[in-house]
Every structure is written in structure tokens, then in C-alpha cells.
Amino acid sequence: MINMENVKLSNGLVMPRVGLGVWKVPINATAKMVATAIENNYALIDTAKQYGNERGVGQGIKDGLAATGKSRQDLFLTTKVFNGDQGDYDRVRQAVNQQLQNLQTDYVDLLLLHWPVFNRYNTSWRALEDIYRDGQAKAIGVCNFNVEHLTNLLDHATIKPMINQIEFNPRIHQPDTVAFCQGQHIQLEAWSPLGNGQLLDNPVINRIAKDKGKSPAQVVLRWEIQQGFIVIPKSTHVTRMQENADIFDFTLDADEMEEIAMLDEEKHTIWYDKYKWSGNPDGVDDYIACDGTF
């Protein structure tokens, strides 16, 4: 049976099933958002160098811990290796050291490769393995890796990824990747779990939400949780933060799960198979997709 409030990763580390994402949050708003989340009992915070707001996350954690009397050990902090830092062992190690300084911590609970940068992720993974061995990350994993990427990585790795964070919601299921990860005991985590908000007006989800006495967002997140996913919805509003975390007092039955699954369109919000990047040392999001779009 799935533990609905936390999950144990393959190395034994316990991770919350619901957290706060900070993608696209301006740095000057991030600190308040993170502190507010901690004050409302959030433990999982998910950021990345690419987001440009790690300093804000670090300050928000400091403020949130001061306000609640909690300690760093009460939180589960995730960040990700920037694409432009990938491919060189020493550059990855140096970049992560700087990220830890920005986050005002000497370790992260989870460190992820943000994307499978072509011909570079295996070298980057070797650096993550040593970061893990050195205690700068309590768990390591990947984002946006499909079956081909994962198979190639596992052929070269000495430590298996503990997480694969992928785009997953009722509109995009990625069944092959999900099945592969489940078979390899790689925990799945959903980014864009609410489909950029586009699912919240869906009549099927709204009908189920009305029947359950819950919000559409709670229904969508519950649908993902019941499939074993970790979810990291983003909200700057206290009431929505509280709502997004309040999904453990109801269940969806098999028919409701299937109705929501039928909304699948298998369309990515964004997806990059190959990359171009300059590796700006400022950590600015300066890579572009192969089609020339961000």
C-alpha cells in the first residue's frame, strides 16, 4: 500500500509526497513564498539554478525556520544541475558548491540533473555520484529522462537514480517512462502537476470535485498521488498552498481515476530532445531548444 504522506526512496531516504515548486517565481518574491510555505507545514521545496531564484529560496528557508523554530533537518530541499554546467566533472562540482552557498546550506536532500543534455549527462552523473558519496546530496536523480536516456545512463552508472521528475498530469502520462521507472524502482515525481492550470476548468474534474466536496486542484493532485507520484504544485497564495496539501482525507474510486485518465492528450508543455547552451556563469536561463524556442 502506498504511504500517502511520504515515500521512501530506494536508498531509504523519506521524502514528502507534496511540496512547493518555485518555477517562474521572481527572486524578489521567492523568499516570502518559501517562508510562507514552511509556516504552513510544507517540508519539500523544489528549485533549480535555471530558475534564477536559489538565493531567494535560501533566504526563505532561513526566514521560515526562524519563524517556526524548525531546523534544516525538518525540510527536504531539492535543486537541479543547470544544463550549461553539465558535461565536465569539475564544473558540475564547482557549480553545485556555489548553489549550496546560494541556498545557505551545506547539503541538499535531493540533487537532480535538470535535463538529459546530449552526450553530457553520463559525465554529469559521475559528478552527482561523488556529490552523493560526499554527503552534499542525500539523494540524486534526474529530470525529463525518457526510457532511452535512462537505459543509457544505467549502462554507465554505479548508483541508480532515485528520482525521475517528469511532466505528468491528466493531459500527459508518458506511460513508457512511467512503466520503466516503476520497474527499476525509480520514484516518479510530477512537475506541472496541474497542467499549468489548464485542467482546473475541465468539466470532468469539476464534476468529480463537486461530488467530493473538494477543489479541482485537489482532485488532480489526488489522482497523481494515488498513482504513487510526488507532486510539487506552485502557488504564492496561502489558501491555495493549504488546499494543495489537503489531499489525504479522500480517495478517488476506480471509475473516477479512469475518467480523469481519459483526458490524456499526450502533449508536452515543453520538451527538448537536444540542446544548445552557452553555460552562462550567472546561471541565467540561456539554453535554447533545438527548435530555437525557450
- Which residue numbers belong to the known binding site for substrate? 114
Distance CA(68)–CA(145), nearest Å, equals 37
The rounded distance, in Å, linking the Cα atoms of 199 and 205 is 8
Record the cell numbers describing residue 128, joined without a space.
Answer: 552527482
Distances (CA, A) of 30 to 51, 108, 120, 139, 276: 11, 18, 31, 24, 28
- One-letter amino acid at 225 equals I
Give the list of residues 6+ apart from residue 259 with CB closer than 8 angstroms, or none. 204, 208
The SS3 of residue 6 is strand
Cα 178 vs. chain centroid, distance in angstroms? 15
Beta strand 230-231 with 187-191: parallel, antiparallel or unpaired?
parallel
DSSP 119: T
Within 121-268, residue ranges assigned H as helices are 121-133, 147-156, 175-184, 203-212, 216-225, 238-245, 254-261
Distance CA(184)–CA(130), nearest Å, equals 21
The residues annotated with a catalytic role in the active site are 51
| Binding site as annotated, residues | 114
- Grid cell locating 7: 515515500
Please state, in angstroms and rounded to a whole number, the distance separating the CA atoms of residues 262 and 171: 9
